[in-house]
Structure 1
Amino acid sequence: MSGKVTELENLLVPIVEALGYRCWGIEFLSQGRHSLLRVYIEHPDGVSVEACATISRQASAVLDVEDPISGDYTLEVSSPGMDRPLFTLEQFAAYVGEQAKIRLRVPYEGRRNFQGVIRGVEGDEVVLQVEEHEYLLPIDTIDKSNIIPRF
């Protein structure tokens, strides 16, 4: 996890939790002069538009004071949704048996993109079965991962 995301988590997770929600994860996409900060929240009763707006206002106030992001950025607060991103080993472990797409920061065995079934977690690695092959993907090499929803 990058230092910037850790800094943002330290600022934003307490706000989300104080408002009665769980912070599922934070994405920070630096895109030149304009960046995107996305905060995923969840609650057993679901996430409403009003809840997203309330958390967004509170987070904006703290971000304005602390100023951890230089330049312009867009703040988005939303539910992780059905195709929820996975950020931690605990989240991968909770979705064993589900299909997932995983993109790595650097190629592993000549590829960066994997799609398969999450088989588990071993140490600091995610076990992903792609067809007949199991891959052990270290969590710190995963750039992005999402559940593939079943309909």
Structure 2
Amino acid sequence: MSKKVTEIVEELAGPIVEELQLELVDVEYVKEGKDWFLRVFIDSETGIDIEECGLVSERLSEALDKADPIPHLYFLDVSSPGAERPLKKEQDFHKAIGKQVNIKTYEPLDGEKVFEGKLLAYDGSSVTVLMIIKTRKKEIIIPMEKVASARLAVTFE
């Protein structure tokens, strides 16, 4: 099979979530213990409810049965990415500008590997984060090739 399972599932799920005016946030295909899980994360501007997850799950399950891209048993899970949703696509980073983010890097930058603060900018090749360290404000520019993971961060003020 030349395409990865996640790519095939994205192609199958894309039109389904689009028709329902939802956003396909991410697709994961992972083995946990002896079981395989296909996780599809959806969202919308107003949030996601259980009925929308059920509808996407039902339609996607039918499409998966027809395409049959997975040769063994697996569990299909359709859900919201939650408040700390991952930032993976360019549009995710653009939407997150002005919001609190948590970014982890593959290697230390200025002696740190975890950066939490307000996302000020994203230009496709780097992100700029405003961090507050004690009473000091510090802007840090992180090259995208050094970003291991990025997500929205929930803060309690």
TM-score by length of 1: 0.75
Q: In structure 2, how many angstroms separate the alpha carbons of the residues matched to 1:82 and 1:22?
A: 15
Give the equivalent residue in structure 2 for 1:134: 140
Q: In structure 1, how many angstroms separate the alpha carbons of the residues matched to 2:13 and 2:63?
A: 8
Give the equivalent residue in structure 2 for 1:150: 155
Stretches of structure 2 that go unaligned for 5 or more consecutive residues are none
> Per the alignment, do residues 107 and 16 of structure 1 end up closer, same or farther by CA in structure 2, a change over 3 Å counting?
same
Give the number of aligned pairs. 148
How far 1:143 moved relative to its partner? 4.4
% identical aligned pairs:
29
Per-residue CA deviation, residues 124-151 of structure 1 (Å, 9 max, x unaligned), is 332234452513231x654432211234
Verify the 8 A CA contact 2:128 2:139 in the aligned structure 1: no
What secondary structure, in the 3-state scheme, does the structure 1 residue paired with 2:74 have? strand
Stretches of structure 1 that go unaligned for 5 or more consecutive residues are none
CA RMSD of aligned residues (A): 2.9
What secondary structure, in the 3-state scheme, does the structure 1 residue paired with 2:93 have? helix
Give the equivalent residue in structure 2 for 1:120: 121
Per-residue CA deviation, residues 71-116 of structure 1 (Å, 9 max, x unaligned), is 3332221223322222212211221122212234x43547654333
TM-score by length of 2: 0.73
> Per the alignment, do residues 100 and 45 of structure 1 end up closer, same or farther by CA in structure 2, a change over 3 Å counting?
closer
1:10 aligned onto 2:35: no
Q: In structure 2, how many angstroms separate the alpha carbons of the residues matched to 1:143 and 1:28?
A: 18
Paired letter, 1:150: T
- Which shows bigger deviation, 34-43 or 47-56? 34-43
